[in-house]
Structures are given as structure tokens and as C-alpha cells.
Amino acid sequence: MNHETVSDLHRYLRQQRERYGDELYVEQDVLRAAELAAQGLTEENGEVTEAWKSARTLEHLYDLIHDCRKCPLAESRNKFVFGVGDPEADIVLVGEAPGAEEDRRGEPFVGRAGQLLDKILAAVELSREDVFICNILKCRPPKNRDPLPAEVEQCEPYLHKQLEVLKPKIMLALGRIAAQTLLRTKDSLTKLRAGVHEYQGIPLVVTYHPAALLRNPNWKRPTWEDVQKFRQLYDELKSTAE
């Protein structure tokens, strides 16, 4: 049920209660559920939570959060950039935030940087259809500035939920800002690339952002080394799980 339908139902039930009082022919729990749903909330076992937290699929999660208004970025965005790829992917790629082209099209890693990312994936025999690609922030910061802590605080739980639904075997952080934000560190990209980390209990490898490679082609070689390590680790994890 979409937000508009829930709002209409809530409005109708409220009008009926005002007209007929509490002796409605509609059960009170139905009315309460509609009232909560109109606020983006749900109730389970007497506990009220945000409805998106109970989503079981990426499609349902998108339906519940794509109109998010929790931070000021909602006012300046063109499109909410949820993520793309296999809804049952073992691999998740994460960047920091959408750029101008991503904001326009509603899809992460498009344009020249996206084309280069496709080539990077192809180099280790993967494609966009094999993985899930998203960002920490789902809305573009003005002028592509770095995400603010308050924005990350509001948006990162959506990433947590995406990972909860996907249950991936491994993650690849694209760029210094994404890696530092996920790992809560100020370590350099060089240091972060050297090891295998963990995020939400999931192994995490760090490499350069594709846009950085467009600015400095000398970083393509170390990126190739990173994704080779990433692919090897993924194959090992996959083999262990079988």
C-alpha cells in the first residue's frame, strides 16, 4: 500500500470517527494501524517503529523510504538514489553520495565514472547485474560536497537495512570518503587499502573511487590490484559457504 493510499484511508477513517464517534463499524486496531501508517510508522507486539524497518525486500524498502524528508538534502534533490543491481547479490559496492548525473537519473555511478566502474567489474568477471551498487547518502549534497555527519546519521540506517535484506558475503568501498565514513576512521586511503575490514559483520575491501581514476590514471594499477584481492576473497568466501 503506497503512501497516498494510506493517507486517503487515514483521512476517511478520521472523518468517520468524527461523524460517528468511537463506535465505528471499523475495528479500532484498523484505525490505529491507518493512523500509524500515515506517519510512516508500524506496530508489532505493542512496539511502534518506523515502517521501513520491517521491510523484507528491497522493493518494499524503496517504497517506504524514497520520499524521505529527514534531512535538508530532500529539498535540493531531483531524485532519491536508492541503488541498483541484483536484489539477491552476494556483493555490495558502496560510494559516498550521488553526484549531479546520479541525482538527475536516480541511479548510482553513471556517466564516465560509471562506465569506468563497469570496466573495473568486467576485469574481474563481474557486471552490474551480478552486484548491488549504492551510496551511503541517497540524496546529492549541494555541489558534491562531502557528506555531513548529521546527514550520515540520518541516512546510514537505510544502508544497514539494505544490507540486512541482501545479506551479502562481501563489500567494496569506493573512495576515501566512503571508506572513512563506513569505518569511522581518518586513516589514509593508502592504509585502508592495505587491509580487509569489517562493516556490519561483512568483510570490506577499500579501493579508489572511479572518478578519482579519471583525474589520475596512475591509480588504475593499484585499483586493479585491489579488485583482484577483492575477487579472490569473494571466491574464498563463496567456496567456504558451499
Please give the grid coordinates belonging to residue 238. Answer: 563463496
83-133 pLDDT tens trace: 999 999 999 999 999 999 999 999 999 989 999 999 999 999 999 999 999
Answer whether residue 39 shows pLDDT above 90: no
* 171 phi, psi to nearest 5 deg: -130, 150
Tell me which amino acid residue 175 is: G
Write the Ramachandran bin of 121: left for phi over 0, alpha for psi from -120 to 50, otherwise beta.
Answer: alpha
The residue whose grid cell reads 590514471 is 217
Q: What is the C-alpha separation between 80 and 140, in angstroms, rounded? A: 8
Q: Which has the higher per-residue pLDDT, 138 or 50?
A: 138
Strands 170-174 and 91-95: parallel
Rg of the Cα trace of the chain? 21
Which domains, and CATH codes, for the chain?
3-53 (no CATH), 58-241 (3.40.470.10)
Q: What is the C-alpha separation between 29 and 31, in angstroms, rounded? A: 5
The residue whose grid cell reads 460517528 is 20
Q: What is the C-alpha separation between 59 and 148, in angstroms, rounded? A: 27
Query: What is the pLDDT, as a whole number, of residue 181?
Result: 97
Beta bridge partner(s), residue 217: none
